[in-house]
Amino acid sequence: MNQLEQLRQLTTVVADSGDIDAIRRLQPTDATTNPSLILQAGMQAQYRPLLNAALQQHRDDISAACEQVTVNFGVDILRYIPGRVSTEIDAHLSFDTSASVDSALRIIERYQAAGIAPQRVLIKLAATWQGIQAAAQLEKQGIHCNLTLLFSLTQAKACADAGVTLISPFVGRILDWYKQHQPEQDFSGANDPGVQSVQRIYQYYKQHGINTVIMGASFRNVEQIRRLAGCDLLTIAPNLLQELAATDAPLVAALQMPLQHATAAAKPLSAAEFFWQLNEDAMASDKLAEGIRKFAVDQRKLAQLLSSLNCE
């Protein structure tokens, strides 16, 4: 078996892409999208009908058309995977709990109008305090959530407290930060701080018997993926999936369940504790803020693209 096939025996493989053709070829179990991936795909001619369909429904409301585009991509992706698709809310709502909940409910309604059951959708929200509280409300309504832009154990603990379905701890963006701030250090292999972060979260969750699922994300190379083989899920870009499929070298589980769970449940974090701990973590604070800004930029670019098409 090639390494992609071996990885599938250890971990649920998820495609991190808005490229529907690539998803059809690679046949992952699940798929994740975000504003940047939707923008990249939306600029390709073969996906223009998905944008035009959204405009036909919401020609006088570009914001609603943007939301519909993300759903249109999700509906098409679900034709080629057996599992779930993650659809992200507008990054501009990352600090507004009520508006995040409202957006999530609209997205689920749009999927239902297309014949897709809520069980096949994960709502993606940034792992801000407000996003996590929105997820807590949505989970109580049976709407499952994927908390993204997660860079720290503090964020992971708060997500567990909220009872969210899934978290996406980032790997590559953590490595990027450390390479920028400590260029003299060797961060290869086992020294990769992004890999180490997911390892810590995995051990904490499993030791405390936390049901929230861990999906490693944001990979820069296949070595990072190999060192997290055995994680609940890994969401991987198509080029890295193809690289794994091109080698037959043996692959073993790098993450394994601890022999025993901790007997005492962890104390829930208060809002003040969350904000202080996140403030103390310069990397996590920087990358969370940067990630939200970048997604917001691409959200605006998608709106501009739809506006230009609307004028044609």
Which tens digits make up the pLDDT trace of 189-200? 999 999 999 999
pLDDT at residue 264 in the model: 67
pLDDT at residue 72 in the model: 97
Which tokens sit at 196?
A: 């180490």
Strand, coil or helix: 201: helix
- Answer yes or no: is pLDDT of 163 > 70: yes
pLDDT at residue 263 in the model: 66
Residues 3-40 have pLDDT tens digits of 999 999 999 999 999 999 999 998 899 999 999 999 99
What is the torsion angle, in degrees rounded to the nearest 10, for the CA atoms of residue 251, residue 252, residue 254 and residue 255?
A: 120
Residues with catalytic annotation?
124
What is the torsion angle, in degrees rounded to the nearest 10, for the CA atoms of residue 253, residue 255, residue 260 and residue 264?
A: -160
- Answer yes or no: is pLDDT of 48 > 90: yes
Residues 205-244 have pLDDT tens digits of 999 999 999 999 999 999 999 999 999 999 999 999 999 9
One-letter amino acid for residue 238 of the chain: P
Longest dimension (CA), the chain: 63
pLDDT at residue 265 in the model: 64
- Answer yes or no: is pLDDT of 103 > 90: yes
Query: What is the distance between the alpha carbons of residues 72 and 53, in angstroms, rounded to a whole number?
Result: 8
Strand, coil or helix: 71: helix
Indicate the pLDDT class of residue 259, thresholds 50, 70 and 90.
confident
Identify the weakest region by mean pLDDT among 19-28, 144-153, 267-276: 19-28
pLDDT at residue 267 in the model: 86
> Which percentage of the chain shows pLDDT scores above 70?
98
pLDDT at residue 256 in the model: 87
Indicate the pLDDT class of residue 257, thresholds 50, 70 and 90.
confident
Query: What is the distance between the alpha carbons of residues 223 and 298, in angstroms, rounded to a whole number?
Result: 29
**Does the domain formed by 3-310 have CATH 3.40.630.30?**
no
Identify the weakest region by mean pLDDT among 62-71, 181-190, 257-266: 257-266
- Other CB atoms within a 10 A radius of the CB of residue 311 amount to 6
Identify the weakest region by mean pLDDT among 90-104, 227-241, 249-263: 249-263
Average pLDDT, the chain: 95
pLDDT at residue 266 in the model: 74
